[in-house]
Amino acid sequence: MARRALLGALAGALVGAAAARAAYAAFTRRPPVGDAETWTRTNHREEPITLLEGPAFVAGAAAAAAVLPGLPARIRAAVLLAVAGSGGLGAYDDLYGATSSKGFRGHLNALAKGEVTSGAVKLFGIGVTGLAAAALTSGKPVDVMVDGALVAGAANLANLFDLRPGRAIKVGLLAGAPLLAVGLRRDDPVSATLAALPAGAAVALLPEDLGERAMLGDAGANALGALLGLTAAVTLGRPGRLAVLGTVVALTAASERISFTRVIAANPVLNRIDMLGRRPVEQAPAD
């Protein structure tokens, strides 16, 4: 029986959830930067929504990782670096980013014209953060490169799904479930804790997301993806990590040409999952 892993998973989920809810309550009273208006944006319905869910996820996940028992020091440091780095850079883009350039192609085209966009700063910074986190958990240089790309790529990919209420969290839960299963099967408390931590924090904030009162934004989505990428790096062997990285790269490349929202809406199963818990809509606008 995977008793140690199960206890680690329960601790990760519960502490992550409690910390995220506490952070959200604190930030709605007193935002980390500016005032409530600073974090207010317009969602796909053209309704006001707060981005404070993102900083709450970042703070909650980081606080949980700092206090959870049983995590080796280097892995704990890697989690804090990945979450704080990707979340902080995402918050920078949330607050100061322009929407004129989108995707890798858009940011690269802007750079070719001599324009350094906030998105380019974020992508570069998350890449550096991913490599630094990977260096704390990986051995050989090739593994550092693979794991760094996995952390950074997953951070970016999670953000691409944060276009409708609850979508990024649902994708994160679906992606994290196999990693949790591996940790439980091996009775590996470290992997199980790492997989359960973001799940607990995300589920705790899901009612706000589905209720269209708040959204993860770049800060929360980047941190969620980075933590899942780091969990995969710690949990899987090299073939598994390469397979996950290939999937991340393929989906990211596909996003440059197709709309995930249109693909999801056209598939009955995916659309049913996407709409689960959401307010009904007569017609979902395309991206």
> Residue 113 gets which letter from DSSP?
T
Average pLDDT over the chain reads 91
Q: Which domain holds residue 97?
A: 3-275
- The predicted-structure confidence for 30-56, as pLDDT tens digits, reads as follows 999 989 999 999 888 888 999 999 999
pLDDT digits (tens, 9 = 90+) for 219-254: 999 999 999 999 999 999 999 999 999 999 999 999
3-state DSSP assignment of residue 160: helix
Tokens of 180: 């949790």
pLDDT tens figures, 111-127: 666 666 777 788 889 99
**Neighbouring residues of 234: CB distance < 8 A, sequence distance ≥ 6:** 75, 137, 190, 191, 194
Q: Which pLDDT tens digit goes with each residue over 168-198? A: 999 999 999 999 999 999 999 999 999 999 9
Residue 281 falls inside a structural domain = no
Within-domain flag for 183: yes
Q: Measured on CA atoms in the order 242, 248, 250, 256, is the torsion positive or negative?
A: negative
pLDDT of residue 39: 95
Continuous H helices in the chain: 3-29, 53-67, 73-96, 103-112, 118-137, 141-160, 167-185, 189-210, 217-235, 238-255, 260-266, 268-275
Query: How many domains, the chain?
Result: 1
In a domain, 286, yes or no: no
282 within a domain of the structure (yes/no):
no
Asked if residue 108 has pLDDT above 90, the reply is no
Asked whether residue 284 carries a pLDDT value surpassing 50, the answer given is no
Domain presence at residue 211:
yes
Neighbours of 103 (CB within 10 A): 17
Q: Is residue 287 one of the residues assigned to a domain? A: no
pTM of the model: 0.91
Residue 285 resides in a domain: no
CA distances from 81 to 30, 49, 174, 197, 225 (A): 24, 28, 24, 15, 13
Percent of the chain having pLDDT more than 70? 90
User: Is 144 a domain residue?
Assistant: yes
For helices 167-185 and 217-235, what crossing angle results, to 10°? 20
